[in-house]
A and B are shown apart, each in its own frame.
Chain A
């Protein structure tokens, strides 16, 4: 008799149920309470304040900008992987993984040096005569997107590499034989093949960026406010935990909504055959 495999999943299901699903349910329930009674007041309070809506929009924008940045930098790496031999492929995967071996906090603080007035970006542009005075990219959304792009880059490269490593390389050779140029091969063969990897990477990058409290606070400063900082403020400064729970649920819905949008995109007839 064939085993269903469920017994092997039991430990993971129990752990997930106890330490993820149950706390999540409690968080959601808590977000609907105010002064001990069931209420929608927390959600109403959040959306009534234009500042909060602005912060929510800024968080979504930050996530999308980082998705764009990681895609722009990740695609060339994936293409290099596609065209490389086995040894170079191993090196590329290793180099993609190396940043993940260091703490996110350490990488974030390294970016303070890189983006600061005395950092290499400012000094290089000054040496090239592009700017007359030192400048800082700290506390700017551009600096934050740059940082998040570097930090989250492995999250898009690895799914792309996973997809490409399972694909026959002679597909592009066959297209070339049929007369397709490099650009046509990329657009009509490689890019569609990479769609599942891109979707997985986009979801990971968006979720990671929109919830990245430390990097947002350190590189963005106090003037670029995002949802995780609002949650921290409500939990640790104002001690309004029901409202903090509601904001956490809103962030979850924002990430979940993006996930659903991307899943719908994947079901679009143009892409569905590749997923």
Chain B
């Protein structure tokens, strides 16, 4: 037989070559480790990967978009402070408050973000840029239920009995809805006993309690639920999939949550994070991100709203939305989570 023979010398050369290649790759990685940026899973992750990766690459940095819910981001960074899992975090005020309290993020230097001045001043914070504002409300299927007026309808109108899905206090969307419901049925946003009593008095409301909004989206597609608490982005995503879904601003006001990009303390490549932030608030990126399926509200002053987003919210209306007190929520969130879980458990 005259086939190729792998001698011991060849094998040694091959192993040596592979080891050298590995070392060279490590050396290259050490010089430019790239940015690992946490983003919310789903449509957000896809959009950030598609739109921002080439822009950050053009600035000279590799970007890895890692999907993770905001609470999970906190847990992972807390678990390894000296070598944080992410160089940049994406979160809402509730988690940002925890991140600052636990010294997980650092103040940014706006001079390193050339597009900083393009942000509306209300979207500039010392902890990082606001990349969008999530406007929350109620999603419903017009084929299955009438348009609800607000949260109260979901408990008092029999048309919604057994058709509404809720999540626990892990979800920011749910927490914001519950604080509004506490205002309606209780004495104020922190009166969560009133909410728990409401669920006890309306056990049909507990027929579809799940663990996340993403899960609710799957169930909505299957026709298993007709109503859930959502952001405008969730409804835009459902519509982009060809599903019938409408968004309602609750009559008591729409809760809203700004979404921030943060620089993690101990980030491997802070310059890369600044390039990533600069890309995320740039006009081309925000114009792309406000297209379906994400339809993110732009924070760059130079970006005009698409008709589709303007149908939900205008730039002037953003300041009139309901912004919950996250410091107060965070103080109670652990106890509320446990109480809710105990109430809904079969």
Contact = CB atoms under 8 A, between A and B. Distances in A.
A221 B346 CA distance: 11
Nearest to B218: A112
A112 B75 contact: no
Given A51-B342, A116-B223, A218-B215, 6 more contacts: A51-B341, A112-B218, A138-B219, A223-B344, A235-B75, A238-B334
Contacts of A221: 208-211
Contacts, number: 77
Interface of A: 51, 54-55, 109, 112-113, 116-119, 136, 138-139, 141, 217-218, 221-225, 229, 233, 235-240
Which bracket fits the contact residues of B? 20 to 34
Contact of B345 (A51, A116, A236): A51
A117 B224 contact: yes
Given A221-B211, A222-B167, A223-B206, A233 B222 contact: no
B78 interface: yes
A12 B208 CA distance: 46
B271 interface: no
B331 to A, nearest CB: 13
B148 interface: no
B337 interface: yes
Interface string B193-208: 0000000000000111
A233 B337 contact: yes
Interface centre among A51, A221, A239 (most CB of B within 10 A): A221
B72 interface: yes
B170 interface: yes
A223 B345 contact: yes
B75 A222 contact: no
Nearest to B337: A237
Contacts of A112: 218-219, 222
B320 interface: no
Contacts of A229: 211
A83 B208 CA distance: 46
B328 interface: no
A34 to B, nearest CB: 16
Contact of A222 (B211, B222, B333): B211
A132 to B, nearest CB: 16
A113 B222 CA distance: 7
A110 to B, nearest CB: 11
Nearest to A222: B209
B208 A237 contact: no
B168 interface: yes
B218 A117 contact: no
B236 interface: no
B218 A109 contact: yes
Contacts of A117: 222-224
B192 interface: no
B2 to A, nearest CB: 36
Contact of B75 (A54, A119, A138, A239): A239
Given A113-B222, A237-B337, A225 B345 contact: yes
A238 B170 CA distance: 9
